[in-house]
Homo-oligomer: A and B are copies of this chain.
Amino acid sequence: MSIRPQAFESLVKAISQFPTIGPKTAARIALWLLSKPQSVSEEIGKTLIEARAQIRPCSVCYQFTDAEVCEICSDVSRDRSLICAVETSVDVWNFERTKQFKGLYHVLGGALSPIDGIGHDELKIDSLIDRIKKSDPPVAEIILATDPDTEGNATAYYISELLSGFNIKKTRLAHGIPIGGEVAYSDDATLSAALIERKLIG
């Protein structure tokens, strides 16, 4: 039995649930909360509850949003003939930071992975097909921007197959050496891809 008060143990246990937080860090955070006025715990606790309740998938593209339809899907200046299908909301945010993409997104919610029990029905594939069918203007291109790993590749090819009857350009992201990367420290697969996808200069 621990000598620490039960309420303290509950606090540590609650905080330990967070990923990357072990029991020692959780105890440190709990002590920090005790060193602060009660209003700090109340504010953080309420934010956890309220923010979680406010955030939901966009009813069109399924990225996390606090509106019924997300900012991107509501933005009339975006190119509606271009959809970038990604695995997660974080992917959307990362693409947006580049300011390179002016189309719409579709968050699949992961990649096909029979081992983890993730099949067609676990992903937002049907709604993607539906969106494409009903789109006005028609979708001209879909970028299948799933991760370049086994599951991501399989998912991209699977969706590509489903769209084989549609008059749509289907693309994948380019592979190659990362900007600022070094040939000497690139893995074989990346280097092969960079060779195969090499481009003319000068």
Contact = CB atoms under 8 A, between A and B. Distances in A.
Interface of A: 2-8, 10-11, 13-15, 17-21, 25, 28-34, 38, 40-55, 64-67, 70-72, 89-90, 92-93, 96-97
Interface of A is mostly: helix
Contacts of A93: 2-4
B5 A48 contact: no
Number of copies: 2
A64 to B, nearest CB: 6
Given A28-B19, A32-B19, A33-B48, A5 B55 contact: yes
A48 B52 contact: no
B47 A10 contact: yes
Contacts of A64: 4-5, 8, 34
A72 B54 CA distance: 44
Contact of A11 (B32, B51, B92): B51
16 contacts: A2-B93, A3-B93, A5-B67, A6-B66, A11-B51, A14-B44, A14-B47, A15-B18, A17-B40, A17-B44, A19-B28, A20-B25, A30-B51, A34-B55, A41-B49, A42-B49
Given A19-B32, A66-B6, A48 B51 contact: no
Nearest to A53: B38
A153 to B, nearest CB: 23
A58 to B, nearest CB: 9
B3 A51 contact: no
Nearest to A90: B31
